[in-house]
Amino acid sequence: MAQTLPGAIAWWARMRGDQPAVHLDGDILTYAAWHGWAGRIAARLIADGLRPGDRVAICSTNSMAYVALILGVIRAGGIVSPVNFRYTAREIAELCETTEPRFAFAAPAQSEQVRAAGLSPRAMAEIADLRDGAPVTPAHDPDPDAPVVIIATSGSTARPKGVVFTNRSMTAYAASWAVEETASAAGARVISLAPLNTSAGFVQLLHYATQGCTLYMMPHFSAIEALRLIERERITCFGAVTAFFEFIAALPEFADADLSSIRLATAGGARVSRQLLETYQAKGVTIRQIYGQTEIGGNATMMPEHLAMDAPEKCGWGGVFMDLRVVRSDGSDCAPGEAGEILMRSPGMMQGYWRNPEETAKAIRDGWLHSGDIGMLDEQGLLTFVDRLKDLIISGGLNISAAEVERVVCEFPGVVEALAIAAPDPRFGETPFVVYHGPAAIDVAALIAHCNANLSDYKVPRYVVFSAEPLPRLATGKLSKPAVRERYAGAHERLARVR
């Protein structure tokens, strides 16, 4: 099991078997117990017919059984296919059209929508029942280069693309940051607030477990519970989307909170304001801005601590095994301070998009991952993120494909064409704003009901505007989103939210 995720956990089970690997909602799972539980799960899956390369869908909120099932599937040679627990039946069905899971597992609250998607879910209770038992050594020997997960990511396409990581790429990513950041060395206490179905949640679990840390997770994010957890457990590492730092700082309890245990704090998904930096700095915590994306494995850059306060708009430089470039449209490198597309390469980057060679070829060219994001490097090589080339709306750290929202809106009777743009939101940073055209104004409440039935709640438009005139177009005939953004800039301030 050289350079595999199960091999890393097995090693920690020998070295620090009694050390907690995961704390979740008052429950504790040690490295030895996790290794044993995963072995029993793997043996059961193999006995039930799972073959190397088969996909296993999991639809659940964070739970200890979910943590164990992830490792069990990988130990058996399967590929984990995390399903967003917020997904509607339609979204689940569309995801599984390409992943074609051999088995699906669902928590009780998610079983109905998984079943409505045409799958036959097995209960997570089945996994919980395997927690205790005799040690089992599954027959399968994991392959370092075998795919271990397909993480759905929203891009500029109407349907999510599946980012594929292997044992080798995920362990390489963990090793890269282990060299860079001693604050997250073995035994560090790390808080992870993201759901396991997201890149952040899944990658953080296996990243920090590979490094031998103790990960503190929550079934659902709660700002006050997160703050109490940081204080009570003396958390040393805290990485999250910027919005989570803001939610915690807004609590009345924050003023008297003791955050002195935190040695590493990183934020991404939205720019960190000077005010937020100063709020945490007053408590001895330096928030270090990062840049990354799912396709590169997670973080691509991290702001050095000694520079974070001096240049809050910058995201840092790449990790020890991360190469970073900013290029012009002709592929030549930009001069310092010149904006261009961000390119990255790393042994931790994705293998490609699941069953999508066309999109893979667009994203990875000559070994470099083309991010679709605009940035610039200064003379020191520090990256500043400028804008997104990809058409994404990022709400509370969650990626929303504008094309997906537009597709669902255009299915509604009376809508001829529609564009989804981002409107500022005081709580989530951005929220979907839809402009549509048709013969006449439609029943907005009925449209929202249609969206609620076909989109996760965070993707449903908060603002809807009718345009009596056809939407503006480019010379090529394509709808012009820049023109719509300009025309409706600030319009959300004059409109009532529709939900």
Which of the four pLDDT bands, split at 50, 70 and 90, describes residue 397? confident
How do residues 329-350 score in pLDDT, each as one tens digit? 899 999 999 989 999 999 999 9
How do residues 253-263 score in pLDDT, each as one tens digit? 999 999 999 99
Determine contact, residues 230/249, Cβ cutoff 8 Å: no
Share of the chain above pLDDT 90, in %: 79
Q: Could you report how far apart the first and last alpha carbons of the chain are, in Å?
A: 51
Share of the chain above pLDDT 70, in %: 97
DSSP states of 278-343 as a string? Answer: HHHHTTT--EEEEEEEGGGTEEEEE--HHHHTT-TT--BEE-TT-EEEEE-TTSPBPPTT--EEEE
Long-range contact set of residues 106-109: C-beta below 8 Å, sequence gap at least 24: 106/58, 106/59, 106/60, 107/59, 107/60, 107/61, 107/63, 109/61, 109/85
Which of the four pLDDT bands, split at 50, 70 and 90, describes residue 181? low
Residue where the block lists tokens 């293998």: 351
Which among 16, 33, 14 has a CA at the least distance from the CA of 24? Answer: 33
276 pLDDT above the threshold of 70: yes
The token pair at 308 is 């974070």
How do residues 24-35 score in pLDDT, each as one tens digit? 999 999 999 999
Give the other-Cβ count within 10 Å of 415's Cβ: 20
Which of the four pLDDT bands, split at 50, 70 and 90, describes residue 449? very high
Can you say how many angstroms the Cα of residue 184 is from the centroid of all Cα atoms in its chain? 20
The model's pTM: 0.87
Please give the average per-residue pLDDT across 309-331, as a whole number.
91
Which of the four pLDDT bands, split at 50, 70 and 90, describes residue 389? confident
Determine contact, residues 149/165, Cβ cutoff 8 Å: yes
Residue where the block lists tokens 């850059």: 301
C-alpha to C-alpha distance for 363 and 352, rounded to whole angstroms:
8
Residue where the block lists tokens 């995201």: 315
DSSP 273: P
The token pair at 87 is 């997904």
Q: What is the pLDDT of residue 241?
A: 86
φ, ψ at 468 (rounded to 5°): -70, -30
Q: What is the pLDDT of residue 189?
A: 97
Residue type, 66: Y
Please give the average per-residue pLDDT across 473-481, as a whole number.
72
Determine contact, residues 344/367, Cβ cutoff 8 Å: no
Beta strand spans in 308-377 (E)? 317-318, 323-327, 340-345, 352-353, 364-365, 368-377
Which among 479, 470, 469, 356 has a CA at the least distance from the CA of 406? Answer: 479
E strand or H helix at 105, and its extent? Answer: strand 103-106
